[in-house]
Amino acid sequence: MFTPDERARLAAEARARLYARRAALAPARATAVVAWPPAASADGRRRVGLAAPVLSDGGGAETWMYDLVRLTDTARLRWEGLWIENPVPMHPTRRRLEALLPIAAGAADEALRQLARRCDVLVAWALPRLAERIGAPRPPIVMVSHSPPHSGWAAETYPSWVADFDVAVSEVALGPIPEPRRSRARVIPNAIDPARLRTDRTRAEVRSAWGIPAEARVLGMLSRATSEKRPEALAATVAHLPQTWWGVGVGPGWDADSIPRHPRCVYPGPQHDVGAALRAFDALLSPSDYESFGYTLGEALLAGTPVIATVTGLVLDRPDLVRPIPVAADGATIAAAVLADEADAAATAARVARAQQYVATISTPDRFGQEWTEFLVAVAAATPATPVANTQPPPPPREVLTKLKQIKACPHRRPEPG
């Protein structure tokens, strides 16, 4: 397991690589010119544009964008395009989005301005100085927070988030939004879509493709292998489990040299058939330092997969839906939780049933699409206010601060460094 200092170093190195890549791509972005498709004639629908800094394959914000476009009411909204600040390779997430709307990736700010001026509202996340970059005239800007207040990404970007309206994907994600906008912000939870869990692949077929023995028990992680997800916990946990248990790390980034290995762990890479992966798991491990929402948590709970997790994201208020583990728990501690879940089969089954019912009611695709449609129609009719820029780190809102204090006081809290 990594020490706090090692984790901080790895996070700093990852940020340095990101900034170096951005700097290298800056000249290409400055000269790339995109011709958007001709604007459609007026048909009574509100015209909406999307803007984002990146488009990763299988990330949470990317899943949210895909759901936003496909689940909102196309009889009332027309999606004009998606502008992405950085170049994006042709991966499955991009292909799915391009089937729904035009995409300009790595394009100059002029393409952003063109998109904004043909829209009634522009929705964005984690992009600095949007109002300044677009200029006047411009539509109302909706900024969406996907991060908790202690996320490194949010901490570095929120001082320059400027918008007329704000939306957070959870109560915790309100934290980075600057006041006075935070008090007016709206929370619209992400959608957990049962359709993403449907699969034609059998459990045996998936395990065979992974090279896992048919009789093995499987502890899986389904996420990007980034530092806050703690991918190193998988091998550390399997090392303390009986020989009957194997570990599987599904998602991008698991091939990094910095991630510890174990002979009974396999890393098949990204897999967009979420239902097949969850069907092949006997338990899902989510040892994240933090989550603002947690698609993987929600999908695993809805699929009926037992979850061993830190109390964060959408289970922050419902720790009874998972087998809780401390933040930064070592492999032995997590292994004990896995075995306790296996030993108490009746209690685990009851918890799984309770979790399925909960997730099925709080984050439905219909509810997500309806809330976003009504919100965007109302915003499109509004006159942009003077954006308020944040100049210093705001304190977390009272409800978030209360929750953070509860986490700090509970036995599952990560020990402070030093």
Pair 352, 322: CB distance under 8 Å: no
Predicted pLDDT at 13: 55
HSE-up of 345 (CA within 13 Å, CB side)?
1
Q: Which residue has the higher pLDDT, 188 or 392?
A: 188
Question: Within the chain, which residue ranges are assigned CATH 3.40.50.2000?
Answer: 44-191+368-402, 197-362
The percent of residues above 70 in pLDDT, for the chain, comes to: 81
What pLDDT digit, counting tens, does each position of 24-80 carry?
Answer: 444 444 444 456 888 777 799 999 999 999 998 878 899 999 999 999 999 999 999
Helix (H, G, I), strand (E, B) or coil at 89: coil
Predicted pLDDT at 186: 95
Architecture of the structural domain at 197-362: 3-Layer(aba) Sandwich (3.40)
CATH number corresponding to 44-191+368-402: 3.40.50.2000
**DSSP secondary structure string for all residues of 16-83:** HHHHHHHHHHHHHHHH----PPPPPPP-SPEEEEEEES---SS-HHHHHHHHHHHHS-TTTEEEEEEE
Task: Return the structure tokens found at 154.
Answer: 């949010």
Pair 376, 77: CB distance under 8 Å: yes
Report H helices in 99-211. 109-117, 130-134, 152-157, 181-184, 203-210
CA distance linking residue 316 with residue 318, whole number of Å: 6
Question: Which residues are CB-contacts of 6 (< 8 A; sequence separation ≥ 6)?
Answer: none
CA distance linking residue 339 with residue 331, whole number of Å: 12
Put residue 288 in one of left, alpha, beta given phi > 0 → left and psi -120 to 50 → alpha: beta
Question: Which residues are CB-contacts of 148 (< 8 A; sequence separation ≥ 6)?
Answer: 154, 172, 173, 175, 176, 290, 291, 292, 400
Question: What is the amino acid identity at position 290?
Answer: Y
Predicted pLDDT at 35: 66
For β-strands 217-222 and 283-286, DSSP reports them as parallel
CA distance linking residue 328 with residue 15, whole number of Å: 21
Q: Quick check: 6 pLDDT over 90?
A: no
Mean pLDDT of 113-118: 96
Kind and range of the H or E element at 335? helix 331-343
Predicted pLDDT at 254: 86
Model pTM score: 0.81
Nearest of 58, 61, 39, 59 to residue 49 by alpha carbon: 39
What pLDDT digit, counting tens, does each position of 138-165 carry?
Answer: 999 999 999 887 776 676 677 677 889 9
Given the structure tokens 């994907």, which residue do they identify?
A: 169
CA distance linking residue 264 with residue 168, whole number of Å: 39
Q: Quick check: 399 pLDDT over 80?
A: no
Q: Which residue has the higher pLDDT, 2 or 354?
A: 354
Q: Which residue has the higher pLDDT, 144 or 257?
A: 144
Mean pLDDT of 180-197: 92
What pLDDT digit, counting tens, does each position of 214-238 carry?
Answer: 999 999 999 989 888 999 999 999 9
